[in-house]
Structure 1
Amino acid sequence: MRGESKRRFKDQLYEQLARVGKALASPHRLELLDLLAQSARTVEELVAESGLPLATVSQHLQILRAAHLVEGRRQGRHQRYRLASGEVVRLWLALRRVGEAHLAELGQLVSTWLPERQRLPALSIEAALERLQGGRALLLDVRPRDEYLSAHLPGARSLPVSELEGRLSELPRDYEIIAYCRGPYCLFADEAVALLQAHGFRAWRLEVGVPEWRERGLPVVQERSSSPWQL
């Protein structure tokens, strides 16, 4: 390949890769990716979760779709979206880790907005597995039930945080409870652990969610595995 042809090749190569970077260059689109990493969702469900207007969500999804980061199909009257592959999940997790490693502002945000987190005991994957293997710990998925059905940790029980206070009597008092949600920046597990502790339970917050668990090569359960629209 001649020098001029090589230059054109490189220019076009990086132009294509830049499409991914441009698609990621929006805080709203990153939030949508984070939500879709939990489960496939309709546009209306993404509107409800993100608080963004319908037209804005639709526009962001089209940008993500043009970069082949998400896929969509119509189900009845609704358009349902999912991440295009597990590689997109790993891209999102890698982007977040780079931010955590190089942006001190992220740590400052957590300290400023989540000061109470310092009081909530947290477990790493290894520490959680050790407790679970000991047979005296209960794993609690406190996300919305649709996300649990999409994929959850083996042995986890679904109890959305919105229902937790009214169903405390269903939980065994002689077990430690490990609550997890969507990942390190989700607050459902924080709320669950604080509530459980206030009612005398021994409770922990798992530091990660399903995407991070799966990234480690650990198994997950998909109760909707028959659907090609669950990653």
Structure 2
Amino acid sequence: MPSQVPSVAVPELPAELPEQTVLLDVREQDEWDAGHAPQAQHIPMSELAGRLGELPDDQELLVICRSGGRSARVTAYLNANGWEARNVDGGMQSWQAAGRGLTCAEGEPQVI
């Protein structure tokens, strides 16, 4: 894995992501269920290799996890395999700290 992957900080992201941008959440199911960005697409890192066909190949991917470690690995993998991806620095912890929206099926959304 390269020592540096393309990345973006949450405050640099527009409040409404452009139509040609996908926010890919690679956290596990329990993390997703607890709280996630409303517009995110969910494919856990552990399932990614088998679900690559679900990813658009004509849109930028912003990859996010809890704190940025898993998403950095996924970003490097995707970029090495033909996608245009950037890691979201600080992950969902930074997303929440910046006051960005969270949603979940029931209860109060939280980042775990």
TM-score, scaled relative to structure 2: 0.85
Partner residue in 1 for 2:95: 213
8 Å contact kept, 1:117–1:190:
no
Deviation at 1:210, TM superposition (A): 2.1
Deviation at 1:116, TM superposition (A): 3.1
Q: Which residues of 2 match residues 5-154 of structure 1 at below 5 A?
A: 116-118=2-4, 120-129=5-14, 133-154=17-38
Is 1:164 aligned to 2:28, yes or no? no
Deviation at 1:127, TM superposition (A): 2.9
**Structure ID, larger Rg:** 1
Q: What amino acid does structure 1 have at the position aligned with 2:105? A: E
Is 1:189 aligned to 2:75, yes or no? no
Alpha-carbon distance in structure 2 between the residues aligned to 1:156 and 1:133: 10
Alpha-carbon distance in structure 1 between the residues aligned to 2:40 and 2:105: 12
Deviations 1:133-182 (A, max 9, x none): 32110001101011001001121111011111111111111110010111
Question: How many corresponding residue pairs?
Answer: 110
Deviation at 1:211, TM superposition (A): 2.6
Q: What amino acid does structure 2 have at the position aligned with 1:221? A: T
Of 78, 83, 89, which residue of structure 2 is paired with 1:201?
83
Q: Is the partner of 2:105 in helix, strand or coil?
A: coil
Alpha-carbon distance in structure 2 between the residues aligned to 1:129 and 1:164: 26
Q: Is the partner of 1:206 in helix, strand or coil?
A: strand
Q: What amino acid does structure 2 have at the position aligned with 1:128? A: L
Alpha-carbon distance in structure 2 between the residues aligned to 1:149 and 1:190: 21
Deviation at 1:215, TM superposition (A): 1.9
TM-score, scaled relative to structure 1: 0.44
Alpha-carbon distance in structure 2 between the residues aligned to 1:150 and 1:117: 31
Alpha-carbon distance in structure 2 between the residues aligned to 1:222 and 1:176: 25
Q: What amino acid does structure 1 have at the position aligned with 2:12? A: A
Q: Percent identity at matched positions?
A: 31
Deviations 1:68-117 (A, max 9, x none): xxxxxxxxxxxxxxxxxxxxxxxxxxxxxxxxxxxxxxxxxxxxxxx834
Deviation at 1:212, TM superposition (A): 2.2
Structure 2 vs 1, CA of residues 173 and 195 (structure 1 numbering), >3 Å: closer, same or farther? same
Deviation at 1:198, TM superposition (A): 1.7
Stretches of structure 2 that go unaligned for 5 or more consecutive residues are none
Cα RMSD over matched residues? 2.0
Structure with higher strand content:
2
Partner residue in 1 for 2:64: 180
Stretches of 4+ aligned residues off by more than 4 angstroms: none
Alpha-carbon distance in structure 2 between the residues aligned to 1:224 and 1:173: 33
